[in-house]
Structure 1
Amino acid sequence: MASLYIILQHILLISSIITLSPFYFSLVFQVSSHGEEQCLTSSSSSPKSCRTVSVKEEIIRLANDEETVDWMKKIRRKIHQHPELAFEEVKTSELIRHELDQLGISYRWPVAKTGVVATVGSGFPPFVALRADMDALPIQELVEWEHKSKIDGKMHACGHDAHVAMLLGAAKILQNLRSTLQGTVVLIFQPAEERGEGAKRMIEEAVLENVEAIFGLHLVAQYPLGVAATRPKEFLAGCGGFKATITGKGGHAAVPQQTIDPILAASTSVISLQNIVSRETDPLDSMVVSVSMIHGGSAFNVIPESTTIAGTFRAFSKKNFYALRDRIEEVIKAQAAVHRCTAEIDLTGKEQPTIPPTVNDENVHEHVMRMSKEIVGEENIEIAPTFMGSEDFAFYLDKVPGSLLFLGIHNEKTGAVHPPHSPYYTIDEDVFPIGAAIHAAFAHSFLSNFTARRSSI
C-alpha cells in the first residue's frame, strides 16, 4: 500500500505540472545525478541525489552528450560513404534498422520498398510524425575527405545522410524520455525524395494514419550554422513538368507547302508559353514556366513528322499551380491547331514528378518557431523568404497539418558553403545536436500540448 501511495503521489505531481505555457515546455521531472529520469519513483533515491529539470533542458543535455554526437557523426559518415539512389536504399535502411534495434525501438519495414517507420512512446494517440529522407543523387563527389563516397557517380549532395543521423539522434533522445511522452512519436525514414515519389508511396502505405501533425527539416547553406528559418503558409514552390509531342506532316524542306510544319508550331508554342507569366499573372505573385528541351528533325533539308518540347512550371499557391498547368495545356494545343498540327501533352509527371507547393500550417509553424527559439535562441531565428525549389514533404502537408524548417550549416571554415546538388557539397556536423534537439523538442512538446488542450475541452 505504501508503494501504491507513492506512485499515486507521483502521478498527481506529474499531472499538476502539465500546463500550457508560452513555450509549450511545461513538463518538468526529476533526474538523478546519473541522468536517470523520474528518480522520485525509486524508494532508494534520496532527495539530495535528484535535481528538477525541464524537458527542454534534458533534451538539450541528451542531444549534446558527447557519445551521442559522435554516434550521429559515425552514422552519417557510414551512409555518406555508401550512397544509394531512390528506392535503392537497402544498406541505408539496414543501418537504420540496426540502430533502432540497439535503441529498443520498434519499427515497420519495408514501407514503400526501402522505407522504415518507427514509433516511440505510449503506442496510443495522439500521434505526431517526424520525417527524414534517405536517398542520394547521381553525382560524382569532388570533395576530398576521409569519408568520401565509395560509389562512383553517386553522392549524398543534399544532406539526406545528415537528416537520417539527426532523426536517429532524436529517436535516442525520445526513447530516453519515453515515459514522459503524452502519446506516440512516428519516425518516418523515407526513400526517393529526389525522385519526388517517396512521400506519396509512404502515404499510400498509411504512415500518416491517425497522425495529428508532421515536422521535417532540411539543411541549407544559405544560413549560418544553427540558424533556423521557415515561414507560415506558402514556403516552397510546387513543381510540375510537361512534355508535348506536336505532330504535323513531314516532307522535303524545299517544298514546305506540301508539309505541315511541327517545328513552326513548336516554336510559336514556346513563345506563347512565356507570355503566360509575363502577361497573364500578377507580377507580385511569382510563377515560372521554362521550356528546357526541344527535339525535332534529323536532317537539314527534311521537315520532320513531329517535334517534342518539354519543360517545368512552378508556383507557390495550389490554386495558381494547377491553373498554370491547365493553361500550359491550352496554349500548346491552341498553337498546334493554329498551325494545322495536333498535340499530345503529358502532364502526369511520369518523367518529371509533379510536386505540390509546400504550404506550412500556421499553427504548427508557430509551434516549430517556439521550439526552435528555445533550442537555438531568438537571435538565430529568421523568417525565410519563399523559394522556387520543391520538396516532396509537400505531399504530407496535403494530408495533415505540418511544417518544414530550414536549418543553417553555412561555415566557411569547414567548407559548408556550396548549394545542394553540387559535387562540392559538404556540411558542418556541429549541426547534429541542434537538429536532433529540435526534432525531439517539437515532438515532445506537441504531444504534451495537444493532450493538455484536449483534456481542457
Structure 2
Amino acid sequence: MGEEVVTFADVAIPEVHITRYKELSDMIHSLRKKLHENPEPSMQEEKTRHILQEFIKRHTTFEVVDKGVWFYAVKKAEKESGKAPIAFRADMDAVCGKDGKPGHYCGHDGHSSILCGVALYLSKQEELPERDVYLIFQPGEEIGAGAKICKELLTEKQIGEIYGLHNIPGYPKNQVLLRKGTFACASTGLSIRMTGTPSHAAYPEAGRNPAIPMAKLLLEIERITKEMQVRGNFVRMTVIGADVGSANYGVSAFEGTLRLTVRAEKEDAFDTYVNEIKALAATLAEENQLTIAIEEIERFPATENHDANVDKLFACAEKLQFPVTELAQPMRWSEDFGYYLQEVPGAFFGVGDGEDHAQLHTAEYEFPDEIMKTAVAMLVGLI
C-alpha cells in the first residue's frame, strides 16, 4: 500500500502496522478456534455465519450484507479511482466424517478467519483502499454447491478480479504455492444404475442380468481414460464401489450400480470425458435391454487460473519477500472456486501448512494458525 516493507515474524508487513498486526493476529486466532469448536455441514452453516458476522460488525468498519445461507462484507473506496472492485472468497463449511459428524478437517475455519483478518487490517488503516473490497463468505464448498449461489455477486457488483486460497499440507510452512493454468482439477461422482428383469438362476436367459454389461462398461471406461491420457489430457477414473444382485443364489441378478469418481485437468476435456462415459453406459444398457439411471454427485469445475492474475500473485509474494513454489502439476482434488473464474479474471493459490502437517480430510488435521499472517498479507497486498 505504498509503505516500506520489513520482515516481522517471518512475514513481511508494513512497518507502521507491526504492533497492530500482532493485536489482530491474536483476535483472528481466537476466532478460528471458536469456529473450530462449532463445525457445521455444508449448507447448514447457521452458527458459523452468526459468529463471523458478529465479529466483523463488532471489530471492523466493513458493512455486512446477509444473503441468507451466505453473506458478504464490503468496504467502499473513499473516492472514485476508476479501479474495478476486488473480491476475496472464503469457505465456511466443515467436512463430515465417517460417523456423519462435521469437523473442520479441511481448514475452512482458517480460511474464514483470514478474510476477517483482511477486514481487521483494512479497518485499522488510516487511508481507505482505492477500490471497493468485497469479502465473500461462502457455504457448501465441500459439496460443490456454494460458489454457484454466490457467483451472481460478481456481475451484480461488477467485480474486476477475485482471489481465493487453500492451506496445503506437505509443503513448507508459509510457502506461497502458485500455478498458471489449472490449480485444482474438475471432478464429479457418477452413479450408474442398470436394471433388467429377474429369473431363476438355472435359467438366466429368461431374465436380463446387468452384470456383464457393467463389467464391459468398466473396461471401456478404462480404455477411454487411457486414450485421453495418450492425447495429453490428465483424466482419472476411480472406482468407489459396485454392487450387482443379492445374496440369493437362486435368483439371477437383475439390478446393479457402479459408482465412480472421475476427474480432469481441463474443463473442456472433463466435459468430453463425462459425456463419453454417459453415452457408453446408455449404449450398453440399450443393447442389453436394460433401463439405466445416471446421477452426477457433487460436480466441481476445474479451477483454471488466469495468467495475469497469477503474475500479480508472483509480484505480491516477491514484494513481501515470501518464498514461492510454482507447482508443476495441478492439485487432483477439486474446488468450486472454479465457478468464479468462469465469470471474472482471478486466481487461486495455496499456502503451505508444513511438510509433516496432517493431511486434509483426516481426523488429525487442524489448521495451523501460524500461516494466517502470510495469507492476510498476500490478500492485502493484492488490493
Q: By the TM > 0.5 criterion, same fold? A: yes
Give the Cα–Cα distance (whole angstroms) in 2 for the partners of residues 166 and 207 of structure 1: 24
Give the Cα–Cα distance (whole angstroms) in 2 for the partners of residues 308 and 376 of structure 1: 53
- Contact 2:210–2:256 (CA<8 Å) still a contact in 1? yes
- Contact 1:375–1:434 (CA<8 Å) still a contact in 2? no
Moved more, 73-82 or 428-437: 428-437
CA shift for structure 1 position 262: 1.2
Q: Which residue of 2 aligns with 1:134?
A: 92
- Figure out how many residues of one structure are paired with residues of the other and give that number: 370
Q: Which residue of 1 aligns with 2:227?
A: 279
- SS of the residue aligned with 2:350? strand
Within-5 A mapping of 1:183-222: 183-204=131-152, 209-222=157-170
Cα distance change, pair 235–256 in 1 and its aligned pair in 2 (3 A): same
Give the Cα–Cα distance (whole angstroms) in 2 for the partners of residues 318 and 304 of structure 1: 37
State the one-letter code of the partner of 1:126: A
Q: Which residue of 2 aligns with 1:402?
A: 346
Of structures 1 and 2, the larger Rg is shown by 1
- Contact 1:252–1:302 (CA<8 Å) still a contact in 2? yes
Q: Which residue of 2 aligns with 1:359?
A: 304
Give the Cα–Cα distance (whole angstroms) in 2 for the partners of residues 359 and 222 of structure 1: 22
CA shift for structure 1 position 207: 7.1
CA shift for structure 1 position 206: 5.7
- Contact 1:264–1:339 (CA<8 Å) still a contact in 2? no
Give the Cα–Cα distance (whole angstroms) in 2 for the partners of residues 206 and 128 of structure 1: 9
Equivalent of 1:372 in 286, 310, 317: 317
Q: Which residue of 1 aligns with 2:249?
A: 300
Cα distance change, pair 63–428 in 1 and its aligned pair in 2 (3 A): farther
Cα distance change, pair 203–381 in 1 and its aligned pair in 2 (3 A): same
Q: Which residue of 2 aligns with 1:330?
A: 279
Give the Cα–Cα distance (whole angstroms) in 1 for the partners of residues 358 and 20 of structure 2: 26
State the one-letter code of the partner of 1:381: V
Q: Which residue of 2 aligns with 1:428?
A: 368
Give the Cα–Cα distance (whole angstroms) in 2 for the partners of residues 410 and 332 of structure 1: 43
1:237 aligns with 2:161: no
Q: Which residue of 2 aligns with 1:108?
A: 65
Kindly report structure 1 stretches of 4+ aligned residues shifted beyond 6 Å: none
Root-mean-square deviation over aligned CA pairs: 2.3
Given the two structures, how large is their TM-score scaled by the length of structure 2?
A: 0.90
- SS of the residue aligned with 1:441? helix
Cα distance change, pair 138–57 in 1 and its aligned pair in 2 (3 A): closer
CA shift for structure 1 position 387: 1.5
CA shift for structure 1 position 118: 0.7
**5+ long unaligned stretches in structure 2:** 5-11
Q: Which residue of 1 aligns with 2:195?
A: 247
Give the Cα–Cα distance (whole angstroms) in 2 for the partners of residues 71 and 280 of structure 1: 49
Q: Which residue of 2 aligns with 1:82?
A: 38
Q: Which residue of 1 aligns with 2:9?
A: none
- SS of the residue aligned with 1:211? coil
Given the two structures, how large is their TM-score scaled by the length of structure 1?
A: 0.76
Give the Cα–Cα distance (whole angstroms) in 1 for the partners of residues 162 and 196 of structure 2: 49
Give the Cα–Cα distance (whole angstroms) in 2 for the partners of residues 62 and 317 of structure 1: 42
Identity %: 24
**5+ long unaligned stretches in structure 1:** 1-24, 30-55, 142-151, 445-457
Give the Cα–Cα distance (whole angstroms) in 2 for the partners of residues 341 and 135 of structure 1: 40
CA shift for structure 1 position 280: 4.3
Which string of whole-angstrom CA distances, capped at 9 and with x for unpartnered residues, describes residues 83-135 of structure 1?
Answer: 111121112111111121121211110x2x33120111327652100111111
- Contact 2:183–2:349 (CA<8 Å) still a contact in 1? no
Q: Which residue of 1 aligns with 2:76?
A: 121
Moved more, 165-174 or 273-282: 273-282
Give the Cα–Cα distance (whole angstroms) in 1 for the partners of residues 20 and 359 of structure 2: 27
Which string of whole-angstrom CA distances, capped at 9 and with x for unpartnered residues, describes residues 229-276 of structure 1?
Answer: 120112211012222221222111111111111122112111111111
Give the Cα–Cα distance (whole angstroms) in 1 for the partners of residues 101 and 255 of structure 2: 34
